[in-house]
Chain A
Amino acid sequence: MASGVKPRVKAPKSAAAGETVTLKTLISHNMESGQRKDGNGNVIPRSIINRFTCEFNGKSVIDVTMHPAISTNPYFEFEATVPEAGEFKFTWYDDDGDVYEDVKPVSIG
C-alpha cells in the first residue's frame, strides 16, 4: 500500500426524503504522474488513484476515471439525492491494486 493514503468524507448524517445533499471527499495520495525523473534520471513509476466511485444503497451516484494530470490529494465535491435512509459507499482504486473504502450512513429525518 502506498504510504500516507487516508480517505476522508464529509456527508450529512441525516437528510429529508428526496433532499439533495452535498458530499465532499478527499483522499491524501501522492498521485505520482509517471512523468517525473529522480536525481539519477530514472523515471519514477506512476502511482495514482485511477478510479473513484460513490454508491448509495448499491446504486451508482458517480463514477470517475482519473488520469495522471490530477494533482496530489484529489478532492471531489458533488451532489446526490437521498430518496430513503441508507448509506453512501465511497471507493478509491489505486494503481497498485489497493482499494480504499469509506461508508457514511444517512438517516431520514
Chain B
Amino acid sequence: MKLKALTAIVALMAAPAVMAGGADDDTLVINGEIEMVTKTAAAPHLDGALDEVISGWHFREDDTQVMQMDDFDNPGMIAVDFATDAWNTAEGTEGKSCADCHGTPEDSMTGVKAVYPKWNDEAGEVRTIGTQINACRTERMGAEPLKLNSGEIAAMEALISVQSRGMPVNVAIDGPAAETWEKGKEIYYTRFGQLELSCANCHEQNYGNYIRADHLSQGQINAFPAYRLKDAGLVTAQNRFRGCVRDTRAETFDLGSPEFIALELYVASRGNGLSVEGPSVRN
C-alpha cells in the first residue's frame, strides 16, 4: 500500500516534466545579423498533416540553441573552413578543383541548398547535394567519389549550405520530381522495423513529446548538415535517416540509395518556407 502511494507521488511529480514539451518561442538570429524563419505556415501539400512547420532548433535546450547563434561557437563552422580548403584543391585526373568551374562558393552556391534535392535533366534523376558533389567529382574532375557518410562530404555540404543561410527552403515537388516525391512520401508513412514505426508516428503525430529522454522534433532537415554534440561531428540528413530507421530496429537503406534520395526530397519539401540553417547545432 505504502509503495503504491509512493508511486502515485512520483507519478504526480513527473507529470509537469513530461508536459513541458513542445516548441519554445525563442528567436533565431545568427551572428546578430541573419534572421531565421523557424516557424511558418505549412506548405499546401501538407494539408491535413501539419498546420505549422517548426525548425528542430526550437526543440533543443537553450545551451545548444545559443551555440548555433554565433559562428565562432558553432563547431560546424570548423568543417566549413576545411571544406573551403578542399574547394580550392585540385583533385583527380583532370587536375581541376571545385573553384575551377564554380569560382567562389559565395558566387556560385548561393541559393543552392534551398532548392535541393532537385531534378537533374541530363541525368534523368533527382539528385541530392551529396550525389551532385560526387557526380562532379567523377564526371568533371576524374576523382574518386567521396563516401556519403564521410566527414568530407558533410563538410562540403555545410560549405554549400552556409551560402544559403536565411533563405527559405523551396524544393520543387512537381514536374519530373513528382514521382520520386510520391515514393518518398510513401516511405515517410510506412512503418519499419520491429518497433513498427513510421517517420510520421514520431515526427508528425508526436512532435513536442518525449520518446524516453529524447525530445521529438518535426524531423525537419532545413538545418542539415547538423553538428551533433553527441557525435562531435557533422551529420547529413541521410545519416540521420539511417539512425532513425536503425532505431526502429529495421535494416536501413544505404546512404545514396534511391529510397533515401526520395525520402530526402520528401522531407526537405515538408520544410518549404523554413530558413536554410545548416550547419546547425543539435544534441
Contacts and interface: CB of A to CB of B under 8 A. Distances in A.
A28 B78 CA distance: 7
Interface stretch (A2-10, A36-44, A81-89, A92-100): A2-10
A26 B72 contact: yes
B51 interface: no
- Give the interface residue-count category, chain A: 10 to 19
B82 interface: yes
B82 A73 contact: no
A46 interface: no
Interface residues of B, number: 7
Interface in A38-73: 71-73
A24 B72 contact: yes
Contact of B232 (A4, A8, A10, A72): A72
A90 to B, nearest CB: 14
A6 B81 contact: yes
B73 interface: yes
A71 B232 contact: yes
A6 B83 CA distance: 13
B72 A8 contact: yes
Contacts of B75: 73
Contacts of A24: 72-73
Contact of B72 (A10, A28, A71, A73): A10
A60 B73 CA distance: 25
Contacts of B232: 71-72
B73 A73 contact: no
A28 B81 CA distance: 10
14 contacts: A4-B82, A6-B78, A8-B72, A10-B72, A24-B72, A24-B73, A26-B72, A28-B78, A28-B81, A28-B82, A71-B232, A72-B232, A73-B75, A73-B78
Interface of A: 4, 6, 8, 10, 24, 26, 28, 71-73
Given A10-B72, A26-B78, A28-B78, 6 more contacts: A4-B82, A24-B72, A24-B73, A28-B81, A71-B232, A73-B78
